[in-house]
Amino acid sequence: MFGRGMLYVLVGSLPIASGALVSPFLAHILGPREFGAYASALALYQLVVILGTLGLEKAVLLQRVQDGDDLRARGLLALGVLAAWVVAGAVLLAKPWWSPALGFGDQGELAVITVLWAASGASGQVLVALLLAEDRLSSYAFANLLAAVGSQVTGVLLAAWWSPTAVAYFTGALVCQSLAVVHSLFTTRPRLYGLVDVRVAQRALAVGLPLMLGALSLVVLNLGDRFLIVRTLGQVEVGRYQIAYTVGYVVLILVLLTGSAWNPRIVAVADVSRRWVLSGRSRDALYDLLVPVVLGVTLAGPVLLRIMAPSSFRTDGLVVVVFVVALGAYPVAAAGASERLLLSERRTRPLAAAAAAAAAANVVLNLVFIPSWGLLGSALATLVAFALQAAIQRAALPKTHTLPAPPPYVVIRVVAGAALCGASLLLPDSAPARWGTFAAAVAVCLPWFAIKLRTASRDVG
């Protein structure tokens, strides 16, 4: 799980890693206003991808692991690809109604390009789910590399040489994502019979639709604040928030991708008691692993923010937003442990309910916090919502078994690490302090992370 499984985490992190690398170039090329449009389009992309997958990527994984062969899972791939494009077509037909409300009233071309990119992205997610379930690392890596790195590089080149707009960037992303889908189609060979296999489709949708609703709620929880910020504070502020969120969200992505890589391994454990123990131990190891990561991102934050954005983004004061966003990794890790247990028993409705409750809380808290605390208020609202989701999911676990609580030493390390992060925010905003904390992040936190990863690999597997 902390060995080969982390290779899948590394590959799966390519979209975020490459996105973080190109963000400074985009910020300079696009400027604050177009970068704000880019951030809004990313939120729309996530929304349409969730709708387009119908949760079938998790259903494909479950079908493959529980069947032991790929016959019916490949049938679900055909259903998933068709569903992605049907949903995208419906979204485009409804564009006159949702476009003005989401801030795309005068950017119709951007909205269309984003929806087409999302349809291709949803298709790709369903297809690579089978590659993950079958542990086909090379094919999985190539598809992700083409979709992630290829899309980023092509998009930046088009924005730099064709037109400094979000439309140019997303056009390049659409081209490479489509090529990745073609590769995955040839690699996974979807079975058209899946389009008429009603019984398997019904079982898959029974699992997938609640997951889709839950994931849709998570989009509202995780990205809906962009729409609230743009309506309350303006396009420039949502661009500033996107920069800070990108730096802090790297930590959450580590957790989410780790959970995705672990899903087939934990679901495949037949002994229920062993599965629960494994889920708890892996969660605790992840908590421990996150301590140097959260600390390192916070310490490096002042320098990373200035690297990622020009002075027009006014990055002073955004480090606290980075810290609060990164703290969200802990409740997300807690929620992941209970999610895997519920998923292994095909009990996905509690996941949807927990995500919906957290999303609703996030919207309400954003409306309350943003006027008073600005961008920090939005980050705090998201942190509280993640914690609420984790609590609801744990309460929904069946009472037949007990998910072990984290040992005291892990809790102490997490609290101490968060305290160090908070103390670093009190340092003066000067060049020596910024580079001093950055050097500490590189010299201390990176080796610390490597040691923790080696320990987790030995103790958990």
Phi and psi torsions of 460, nearest 5°: -105, -40
C-alpha dist (Å) from residue 77 to 87, 117, 190, 216: 15, 18, 5, 21
Q: How far apart are CA 13 and CA 253, in angstroms?
A: 7
Tell me the percentage of the chain whose pLDDT exceeds 90. 16
Average pLDDT, the chain: 83
Show me where the domains of the chain are located.
1-196, 230-461
pLDDT for the residue 5: 63
Q: How far apart are CA 287 and CA 294, in angstroms?
A: 10
The number of beta carbons lying within 10 Å of the beta carbon of residue 423 is 9
- Confidence label for 248 from pLDDT (cuts 50, 70 and 90): confident
**Which of 86-100, 262-276, 345-359 is least confident?**
262-276
The yes-or-no verdict on residue 90 having pLDDT over 90 is: yes
Describe the chain by its helix, strand, coil percentages, rounded to 5. 85, 0, 15
pLDDT for the residue 362: 87
Q: What is the pLDDT of residues 139-171, one digit of tens each?
A: 888 888 888 888 888 888 888 888 888 888 888
Angle subtended at Cα 22 by Cα 430 and Cα 451, rounded to the nearest 5 degrees = 70
pLDDT for the residue 4: 62
Determine which helix (DSSP H) or strand (DSSP E) holds 177, and give its type and residue range.
helix 166-188
pLDDT for the residue 222: 67
- Confidence label for 276 from pLDDT (cuts 50, 70 and 90): confident
- Confidence label for 459 from pLDDT (cuts 50, 70 and 90): low
DSSP state of 401: S
The number of beta carbons lying within 10 Å of the beta carbon of residue 342 is 18
Name the amino acid, one letter, at 243. Answer: I
Prediction pTM value: 0.69
Most confident region among 28-32, 33-37, 363-367 by mean pLDDT: 363-367
pLDDT top residue among 33 and 52: 52
Instruction: Please report, for the chain, how many H helices and E strands are present, in that order.
Output: 18, 0
pLDDT for the residue 331: 92
From the number of C-beta atoms within 10 Å of its C-beta (0-12, 13-18, 19+), residue 97 rates as exposed
The whole-number average pLDDT for the span 363-386 is 89
The yes-or-no verdict on residue 104 having pLDDT over 80 is: no
Question: By C-alpha distance, which of 256, 245, 243 is closest to 382?
Answer: 245
Q: How far apart are CA 314 and CA 299, in angstroms?
A: 18
The whole-number average pLDDT for the span 270-285 is 82
pLDDT for the residue 439: 92
SS3 265: helix
C-alpha dist (Å) from residue 234 to 103, 220, 244, 316, 373: 10, 19, 16, 18, 15
pLDDT top residue among 331 and 214: 331
What crossing angle do the helices spanning 137-145 and 14-53 adopt, rounded to 10°? 90
Angle subtended at Cα 84 by Cα 83 and Cα 85, rounded to the nearest 5 degrees = 95
The whole-number average pLDDT for the span 428-455 is 84
